């Protein structure tokens, strides 16, 4: 299956919390979108890996993504080695995406930046003809890294005004991880009461820079280019 956009993330929920507005907007424009989670997030405090996979499938359906895979890598211990890189190369060559989205190259959670670098490496290796996987060599036209916990300098933002209610619905696929006053499980970085409002506040802050209500933000691994200055908004 050929995909237009393939989003690689360290953990199930990264894509929903980070760039689901952007994906929803492109899906509405008839682009095909897929998701590949590197781990099952089995070390996270709340719930279980089995519950997380159920929630990830729910998230996929709410997003209307075409496919969602989980590579079963070890949560908390992602490593930039041949085994990990080749697993991602196989996925890239299978779906031949034009654009890849990935975790940032710097972040609070070590799995986030490790995943970002793993995917960056795999995009390079997927084009090498002497790496044989039984598939044709492929590489995306671009890889864009999302900003997560750390407020980093970004290269461009996407106007996602009008998608707030849809993103809220997508994020609620992970209800076990979000605020629940009746829960007896420990509180985490995303289970505090105002977390969803914080996510929206971040998107509103970046939207202000381009005079829209909400925006999601990305960092490029290379310099983007335009045909002329009028291509820029």
Question: In whole angstroms, what is the distance from residue 21 CA to residue 19 CA?
Answer: 5
Q: Any idea which residue has 């299978």 for tokens?
A: 94
Question: In whole angstroms, what is the distance from residue 37 CA to residue 118 CA?
Answer: 12
Which of 180-215 are b and which e, b meaning 16 or more Cβ less than 10 Å from the residue's Cβ? eeeeeeeeeebbeeebbeebbebbeebbeeeebebb
Question: Strand, helix or coil at 8?
Answer: strand
- pLDDT given at position 198: 87
pTM: 0.92
132 contact partners, CB below 8 Å, separation of at least 6: none
- pLDDT given at position 24: 94
Report the 3 state secondary structure along 94-160: HHCCCEEEECCCCCCCHHHHHHHHHHHHHHHHCCCCCCCCCCCCCCCCEEEEECCCCCCCCCEEEEC
**What are the residue boundaries of the structural domains of the chain, listed by start?**
5-222
Q: How many CB atoms lie within 10 A of CB 148?
A: 23
**Tens place of pLDDT per residue across the chain (233 aa):** 899 999 999 998 888 888 999 999 999 999 999 999 999 888 877 778 788 889 999 999 999 999 999 999 999 899 999 999 999 999 999 999 999 999 999 888 899 999 999 999 999 999 999 999 999 999 999 999 998 877 778 899 999 998 888 888 898 998 888 888 888 888 888 888 888 888 889 899 889 989 999 999 899 988 888 889 888 87
Residue range 5-222, CATH number:
3.40.50.10320
Question: In whole angstroms, what is the distance from residue 101 CA to residue 19 CA?
Answer: 9
- pLDDT given at position 218: 93
Question: In whole angstroms, what is the distance from residue 37 CA to residue 131 CA?
Answer: 23
């Amino acid at each position: 299956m050929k995909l237009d956009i393939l989003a690689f993330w360290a953990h199930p929920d990264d894509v929903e919390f980070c760039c689901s507005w952007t994906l929803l907007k492109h899906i509405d424009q008839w682009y095909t979108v897929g998701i590949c989670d590197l781990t099952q997030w089995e070390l996270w405090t709340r719930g279980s890996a089995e519950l997380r996979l159920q929630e990830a499938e729910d998230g996929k359906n709410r997003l209307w993504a075409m496919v969602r895979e989980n590579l079963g890598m070890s949560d908390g211990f992602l490593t930039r080695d041949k085994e990990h890189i080749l697993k991602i190369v196989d996925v890239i060559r299978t779906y031949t995406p034009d654009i890849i989205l990935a975790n940032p190259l710097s972040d609070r959670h070590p799995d986030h930046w490790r995943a970002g670098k793993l995917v960056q490496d795999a995009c390079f290796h997927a084009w090498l003809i002497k790496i044989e996987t039984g598939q044709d060599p492929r590489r995306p036209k671009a890889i864009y890294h999302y900003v997560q916990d750390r407020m980093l300098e970004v290269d461009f933002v996407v106007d996602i005004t009008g998608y707030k209610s849809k993103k809220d619905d997508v994020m609620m696929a992970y209800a076990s991880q979000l605020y629940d006053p009746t829960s007896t499980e420990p509180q985490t970085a995303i289970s505090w009461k105002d977390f969803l409002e914080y996510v929206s506040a971040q998107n509103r802050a970046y939207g202000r820079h381009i005079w829209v209500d909400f925006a999601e933000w990305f960092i490029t691994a290379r310099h983007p280019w335009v045909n002329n200055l009028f291509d820029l908004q």
